[in-house]
Each structure stands twice: as C-alpha cells, then as structure tokens.
A and B are shown apart, each in its own frame.
Chain A
C-alpha cells in the first residue's frame, strides 16, 4: 500500500504543526516527500516559517509598560503606598 501523498491544499492545514515539530512522523514524511517535488509548496513552507519568526522577533521588541500606566493602575487599586517602595 503506498502512502497517501497530500495535494498542495491538503497539506496546508498541517504545515503549522509541521513547523512546530508536533506532527507525527508519518505525516512529516508525507509532507517532506511532497516538498521535495513541489517548488511552490517549498515557498509556502519557507514563508510560513519566516512569518512566524517575524512575529516572534516583533514580540521581543514590544514596548514595556509605561510608568504612568502602572502608576494609574496602582492608584486605581489603592496600592500607591506599595508602588513607592518598589520604585
């Protein structure tokens, strides 16, 4: 019995888990076999991987909590006296 080789569209739904390394070995092998022969899908996989990487990088650069936002939060919670100790 030959393993089912997924079509381009069939493969799409599994790519996210494939890139997270969470896909079972058999499905990984089917995807890799498809990728070895399909240039378009290789581009999709590469750009999906890069999309995830860009968001990870973007998240690392996110602004910190502004000091005045923290101050208003502590005031709203009636905790200002504790804030002054920690700053």
Chain B
C-alpha cells in the first residue's frame, strides 16, 4: 500500500475492458453497493447476491456506458434495480413480505403525537432502538424504502436519487416525505409503548 493519491478512473480504459482498471472500480464502490443492497433487502446473503450481480452486469455493459450520468450513479442504478427485482421475486413466492400500506392509507391514520424527541440519547440509540429503526425501514413499501435508503441512509441528493430511479425530483420528494412520515409514526408508537410516554393523539 502506498500513500499517494490514486488517479481518477479512466472511462476509456474501463470501456476497453482493462481488468486492472475494473478492479479499481470494484474496490472503490463495492462497499457502497453492498450497504445499499443490505439496507434495501435487510439480508446479508441477498445483499451479497446483488453486489455480485451488479458488477457482473457492469462488466458486461461498460463498453456501452455513455457517460451521461456519473459512474457511481450508473452503478447505483444497476444495484437498485437488482435489489428491487429480488424483492419482487420474493414477493411472488411464498415468503411473507409485509406490505401494510400499498396506497395512501396512512393519510387516514391518526397522527401520532408523542413527544419523544427529548429522550436521553441512550434511550434513543441503544441496540434495541437500532433494531426498531431497521424493522421500520423493512416495513415500508419498496417504492418508499428505496427512496429513503438512497436519500437518508446513503446520503445521496434528490437529483442523484431521481437519476438512479428514473423518476422526477418531485416524485423523489413526495416519496421521501411519505416514507419519513411513516417512519416517524412507527417510531412514535414504539417510544409511546416502550417508555409509557403520553400519546396526545388518542
């Protein structure tokens, strides 16, 4: 290992099928792609499958990469599509995958009014709560889950998210809003039950 800064990836070399350059691409992005897949799918084995499929597809399609989006956006798009495909496949099978609110039903629910935001940090971020955070993400419909994962967990911009999902920036914002509101609802219910906080909605 050296301390010198690596030169930027050469799109030309990647298009030509240069293996060393492809290895650099994989090494640069494999951790991001793995985390993205893990966050969407919630299962390390599925995440690994998506990781491998993403780079196999990338290798195959690099010669026709047109450079209109950045390489990272392009890779994220492949990975997101792979993850969604896997979710659809699982849903079509016998595996139970909760789909509690396929439509706008959550608009009809009472708004949870539980003042939990000032709970001490050790109550908000302990191992149990982290599990609840993951479970809440898993409860979102895939369309909302993907957006909140890209925006709030992977830290991508609205614009990047819209390019990855090929939907308008307005749709990204709408879905993100619905996802965040649902997560807030579920966390409010959890903290209400866990710590006996008053719920002003009832």
A59 at the interface (CB under 8 A from B): yes
Knowing A72-B48, A73-B51, the reply to whether A59 touches B117 (Cβ < 8 A) is no
Name the contact of B115 in the complex, choosing from A47, A69, A72, A74 (C-beta under 8 A). Answer: A47
CB distance from A9 to the nearest CB of B (A): 8
Q: Which residues of A contact B114 (CB under 8 A)?
A: 43, 47
Report the Cα distance A26→B58, complex, angstroms.
45
Are B111 and A69 in contact, with the CB atoms below 8 A?
A: no
B181 at the interface (CB under 8 A from A): yes
Secondary structure call for the B interface:
helix
A86 at the interface (CB under 8 A from B): yes
Q: Which residues of A contact B38 (CB under 8 A)?
A: 62
Q: Which residues of B contact A65 (CB under 8 A)?
A: 30-31, 34-35
Are A22 and B173 in contact, with the CB atoms below 8 A?
A: yes
Secondary structure call for the A interface:
helix
Are B152 and A12 in contact, with the CB atoms below 8 A?
A: no
Are A77 and B59 in contact, with the CB atoms below 8 A?
A: yes
A5 at the interface (CB under 8 A from B): no
B187 at the interface (CB under 8 A from A): yes
In this complex, the interface size class of chain A, counting residues with CB under 8 Å from chain B, is 35 or more
Residues of chain B from 141 to 194 with CB closer than 8 A to chain A in the complex = 148, 152-155, 158, 173-174, 176-177, 180-181, 183-184, 187-188
A52 at the interface (CB under 8 A from B): yes
B19 at the interface (CB under 8 A from A): yes
**CB closest residue in chain B, given A62:** B35
Q: Which residues of A contact B35 (CB under 8 A)?
A: 62, 65
Knowing A47-B114, A55-B133, A82-B23, the reply to whether A73 touches B52 (Cβ < 8 A) is yes
Are B177 and A82 in contact, with the CB atoms below 8 A?
A: no
Name the contact of A16 in the complex, choosing from B22, B111, B180 (C-beta under 8 A). Answer: B180
Report the Cα distance A22→B34, complex, angstroms.
30
Q: Which residues of B contact A58 (CB under 8 A)?
A: 125, 130, 133, 153
Are B27 and A69 in contact, with the CB atoms below 8 A?
A: no
**A interface footprint on B59-100 (CB within 8 Å = 1, 0 otherwise):** 100000000000000000000000000000000000000000
Interface residues, chain B, with chain A CB atoms under 8 Å away = 1, 19-20, 22-24, 26-27, 30-31, 34-35, 38-39, 44, 48, 51-52, 55-56, 59, 107, 111, 113-117, 124-125, 129-130, 133, 148, 152-155, 158, 173-174, 176-177, 180-181, 183-184, 187-188, 200
> Nearest 10 CB-CB pairs, A to B?
A82-B23, A16-B177, A50-B117, A65-B31, A59-B153, A51-B184, A46-B117, A79-B23, A65-B34, A55-B152
